[in-house]
Structure 1
Amino acid sequence: MPRTARKKIENGIYHIICKSNSDSLLFREESDKERYTVILKKYKKQYGVKIYAICFMDNHVHFMIETCGTDLSSIMKSINVSYVQYYNRKYDRTGTLMGERYKSHLIKDEKNLANASLYVHKNAKDLPKWRNKIEEYPHSSLGIYLGVREDPHDLIDSGYVMRFFNNNINQARKVYAARLELDDRINYEIKYNINENDKCEYRSERKILYKELEAEVIVEQVSKLLNIEKKYLYIKNNPYGKKIRAMVAFFMRKYCGATQREICDFIGNITQSTVSVLCSKAYDMISEYNFDSIFEIFAKNCSTKKCMI
């Protein structure tokens, strides 16, 4: 029986569930969950997507993702292939790890968004060690939502979801805790230092960024940033060429919404697997050096619009 086509929209928000097959745990150790988080962070930056919530179990993971104009299948393929390669190397195994293709549920409205985040975070109640303190579970974004802990990977965009509970940060946290039935167990005001008079507010709003930049604009800006002439983009086996190709491939994926095939056709004489390698190289370069300015330049050149969901 053929698979049912997924419902996908250009700027959709989805609840994703990835499960392992029956023979293996998806995450054997705590470090595996950490590695998956690092991979999510990497592709969040490469594709320009947003992660709204996450919760790891031993044999599956839940998270909410906004595709921001990128094809969901491409994002998930990058994430899962990268993780399976890591997993198979670490545990000296071969073959598939995922039991089935990932499940994706399109979030259609504000109520569905709020409820989906609550559902994701409630999963930790199935973990015996954390059942009575799910807000302290380190592999869930709930602690970030409630202000219990920081987000060391800068992965979670919680503000957009929390504003649907209350514009005041502390009031939103109280409401969210109540919806999770945490207020019956803890003195929330004391434990999390809630101040009723705190005027801090969520001002997060969803902005759709259209990935419509021309590749030539990407090349021009990358050339200026790296101080490398554009001609080196097309010269193989050259250190300057490797740098500019890596950055152009990375930003074409992020701001043009280009597929690997389209990047191959533009740069010329490279394979799709090479595009993945180039994007990873660019990610490492961006992580090592301060390239914040170029993100701002490209974002300004992309048209945006505000929306609720």
Structure 2
Amino acid sequence: MILLLRITKQNGGRKIARKLRDWYPGAVYHIMHRGVRRKPIFEDEMDHQVLLQIIKTSLSKYNCWLHAYCLMTNHVHLLIETGDIEIGKFMKYMSECYAIYYNHKYGYRGHVFESRYKSCLVKEDAYFLQTSRYIHLNPVKAQMADYPEYYLWSSYRTMIGITDDGITEKKKTLAYFPKNSIYQYREFVEDIGHKYIVQEQHIRKMIGEDELWLPW
């Protein structure tokens, strides 16, 4: 596991050391990356498609596997597993490529994403599954879709076999269910009871998404 300090900025003449994120080969993260000042990072359908293509290229370049994702209006959620390259390189490449595209298209300058993405190590099987559920329910909780499969910009439609986005790795997630059952995974995600309310609150707190659910 890597535990290092990085000198990041000066505050009143004093340098501040920021701890690098924990990483080891095979580490799994829940990542949330938000638009700078929480501004929208997608303006049309093409923007979503471009970021998904950039993610696909980034996964191949940095030997990572994507287990779940959701592209919201002003932020993205990723459930991602690293290989032998630490997660920061993947995120830097992905963010910079999309920023170049976005700024060129709309005539903007400067940052598109907040400089410090939020991440949480996912170490337990139960937490992995709950995070997958949390990510896929984001549009429903934000009242952007009645059901997760109605939302086009997440991995859920791929997970349940409606389509194939070419970037989502389904095997690890479905392996938690008897006979890799898509039906049981779907039932797990779409359970409308209050069975998972505590887990949802914990995940939201851990990733720093502590505001009320909002339609973006």
Structure 1 residues 182 and 109: CA distance shift in structure 2, 3 A: closer
2:111 to 96, 100, 108: 96
Q: 1:220-231 to 2 correspondence within 5 Å?
A: none
State the one-letter code of the partner of 1:165: F
Q: Does 1:12 align with 2:27?
A: yes
Match of 1:173 in 2: 182
User: Distance in 2 between the 1:21 and 1:118 partners?
Assistant: 26
Structure possessing the higher radius of gyration over alpha carbons: 1
Distance 1:33 1:15, change over 3 A: same
In the TM superposition, residue 4 of structure 1 has moved relative to its aligned partner by 3.4
C-alpha distance in 1 between matches for 2:192 and 2:144: 19
For the pair 1:145 / 2:159, whether they are aligned, the reply is yes
Matched residue pairs, number?
A: 178
The equivalent position to 1:42 in structure 2, one of 34, 47, 57, is 57
- Helix, strand or coil: the match of 2:103? helix
| Alignment partner of 1:163 is 2:178 | no
Q: Please give the secondary structure, in 2, of the residue aligned with 1:28.
A: coil
Partner amino acid, structure 2, of 1:11 = G
For 1:126 and 1:89, the matched residues in 2 are separated by 32
- The answer to whether residue 129 in structure 2 is matched with residue 120 in structure 1 is no
Q: CA–CA distance in 2 between the matches of 1:4 and 1:39?
A: 28
Distance in 1 (alpha carbons) for counterparts of 2:37 and 2:138: 19
**Is the CA contact (8 Å cut-off) linking 1:39 and 1:83 kept in structure 2?**
yes
Specify the alignment match of 2:94 in structure 1. Answer: 79
Look up the SS of the partner of 1:96 in the other structure: coil
Instruction: Classify 1:19/1:43 alpha carbon distance in 2 versus 1 (closer, same or farther; 3 Å).
Output: same
How many Å apart are 1:123 and its aligned residue? 0.5
More helix by share: 1
CA deviations 1:226-254 (Å, max 9, x no partner) are xxxxxxxxxxxxxxxxxxxxxxxxxxxxx
**Structure 2 segments unaligned to the other structure (5+ residues):** 1-15, 194-216
Identical-residue share of aligned pairs (%): 28
SS in 2 for 1:180: helix
Distance change in 2, residues 1:179/1:81 (3 Å): same
Q: TM-score, normalised by structure 1?
A: 0.54
Q: Normalized per residue, which structure has more strand?
A: 2
Structure number with the bigger relative contact order (C-alpha 8 A, sep ≥ 6) is 2
- Tell me the SS of whatever aligns to 2:36: coil
**Alpha-carbon contact 2:139-2:148 (below 8 Å) kept:** yes
2:125 matches 1:110? yes
For each residue in 1:3-50, what CA deviation from the matched residue of structure 2 results, as whole angstroms up to 9, or x when unmatched? 333111122111111100226311122211111100010111122211
Gaps spanning 5+ residues in structure 1: where? 185-309
